[in-house]
Chains A and B, each alone.
Chain A
Amino acid sequence: MSTQAKYKTEPMKLWKKAKEFKTNHFKEYHDAHKNGKLRFLASTALSISMHSGFENAVIMGAEPFAANVAFWKDFGIKAMEICEARGMSRELCGYSKCVWGAEFMNQNIMPAGTMLDEWGKPDFASAFSLAPCHCKWFQILCENSDTPMYLFDLPKAYPYNDENLVEYMTGQTLACIEEAEKAVGQPFIDELFIEGVKNEIKAYDMWTEIMLLNQAIPAPMDEKTMFSFIVPNLTRPYDPATYEFMKELRDEVQDRVDRGIAAVGNEQFRLITDAIPPWPALEIYRYLEREYGAVVVGSPYVICLCGCWKFENDEGDLIPTPTPMDLGMPMNTREETAKALCWYRSHFSTETPYNIACGEVLHELTLKIAKQWKADGGTLHQNQGCTMQALGGLESRNAVAEAGIPCILYEGNDADSRDIDMTNMKRKFDIFFEANNVKRLTK
Chain B
Amino acid sequence: MFEKFGEILENRHEYAREWKKRTGGKVVGFFCSYAPEEPLQAAGILPVRIIGGHKSSDKVGKFIAPNIGCSFCRDALGRGLEGDYDYLDGIVQGQTCLHTGEAFWVWEKHLPVEFSYFLAVPHSTQNVGREKYLAVEYAKFKKALEEWIGKEITNEDLDRGIDTYNTNRQRIRQIFDYRKQDNPLVTGTEALDLALSGQIMDRNEHNQLMKEVLEKLPDRQMDRDPGTRIMIIGSVNTDREFMDMVENQCDLPATIVIDDTCTGIRYNFNDVNPQDDRLMAISLRYNHRPPCPNKDWPRRRRIPFIKHLMKAYNVEAVILFNHKFCQPHQLDNAVIERELKAMDIPNLTLEFDIRIPIGQFRTRVEAMLETTMDII
Contacts and interface: CB of A to CB of B under 8 A. Distances in A.
Interface of A: 86-89, 91-93, 129, 131-133, 135-136, 138-140, 142, 149-156, 164-165, 167-168, 171-172, 175, 356-357, 359-360, 382, 384, 387-388, 390-395, 398, 409, 411
Contact of B65 (A135, A167, A356, A390): A390
A394 B95 contact: no
A104 B327 CA distance: 20
A168 B102 contact: no
Given A136-B328, A390-B65, A394-B65, A360 B298 contact: no
B101 A151 contact: no
A129 B123 contact: yes
A390 B133 CA distance: 29
A291 B132 CA distance: 56
6 contacts: A138-B298, A156-B95, A167-B129, A168-B133, A359-B102, A387-B327
Given A153-B123, A387-B68, A92 B330 contact: yes
A88 B331 CA distance: 7
Interface string B31-74: 00000000000000000000000000000001111011100000
Nearest to A128: B123
A392 B325 CA distance: 15
B98 interface: yes
B120 A156 contact: yes
B223 to A, nearest CB: 40
Contact of B118 (A92, A129, A357, A394): A357
Nearest to B135: A164
A164 B136 contact: yes
Nearest to A356: B101
Interface string B302-340: 000000000000000000000001011011111101100
A140 B327 CA distance: 14
Given A136-B297, A139-B298, A153 B127 contact: yes
A172 B65 contact: no
Given A93-B327, A139-B298, A395-B106, A168 B293 contact: no
Interface in B189-238: none
Contacts of B328: 132-133, 136
Nearest to A174: B128
B294 to A, nearest CB: 4
Nearest to A399: B109
Contacts of B335: 140
Given A88-B334, A167-B129, A155 B122 contact: yes
Contact of A129 (B105, B124, B128): B124
A395 B106 CA distance: 8
A168 B120 CA distance: 12
Given A91-B330, A151-B124, A168 B130 contact: yes
Interface string B80-105: 00000000000000011111011011
Contacts of B330: 88-89, 91-92
A150 B330 CA distance: 23
B337 A92 contact: no
A359 B105 contact: yes
Q: From DSSP, what is the main secondary structure of chain B's interface residues? A: helix
Contacts of A168: 122, 129-130, 132-133
A171 B327 CA distance: 29
Nearest to B139: A164
A394 B64 CA distance: 6
A171 B333 CA distance: 32
Contacts of A395: 63, 105-106, 109
B163 interface: no
A387 B95 contact: no
A150 B127 CA distance: 9
Give the 3 A-B residue pairs with the shortest CB-CB distance, closest first: A87-B334, A359-B105, A356-B101
B98 A356 contact: yes
B128 A136 contact: no
Interface string B154-173: 00000000000000000000
B130 A153 contact: yes
B331 A133 contact: yes
B331 A136 contact: yes
B98 A132 contact: yes
Contact of B62 (A87, A138, A394): A394
Given A139-B300, A172-B127, A395-B109, 11 more contacts: A87-B334, A87-B337, A87-B338, A91-B330, A132-B295, A136-B293, A149-B298, A391-B98, A391-B99, A394-B62, A395-B63
B128 A175 contact: yes
Interface of A is mostly: helix
B327 to A, nearest CB: 6
A47 B331 CA distance: 23
Interface in B257-303: 293-295, 297-298, 300
B108 interface: yes
A159 B10 CA distance: 39
A280 B256 CA distance: 46
Contacts of A93: 327
B370 interface: no
B175 interface: no
A172 B333 CA distance: 28
B8 to A, nearest CB: 32
Nearest to A383: B68
Nearest to B298: A151
B239 interface: no
A210 B96 CA distance: 36
A18 to B, nearest CB: 32
Contacts of B96: 132
A88 B122 CA distance: 25
A357 B327 contact: no
Interface in B115-161: 118, 120-124, 127-130, 132-133, 136-137
A390 B95 contact: no
B68 A391 contact: yes
Contacts of A88: 330-331, 334
Contacts of B129: 167-168, 171-172
A359 B298 contact: no
Given A132-B123, A395-B105, A91 B69 contact: no
Contacts of B137: 155, 164
A137 B334 CA distance: 13
A393 B105 CA distance: 13
B108 A360 contact: yes
Interface in B164-186: none
Contacts of B68: 382, 384, 387, 390-391, 393
B328 to A, nearest CB: 6
A175 B127 CA distance: 9
A251 to B, nearest CB: 40
Contacts of A392: 102, 105
A164 B109 CA distance: 26
A391 B327 contact: no
Interface centre among A138, A356, A382, A392, by most chain B C-beta atoms within 10 angstroms, is: A356
B280 to A, nearest CB: 14
Nearest to A93: B327
Nearest to A83: B334
Contacts of A138: 297-298
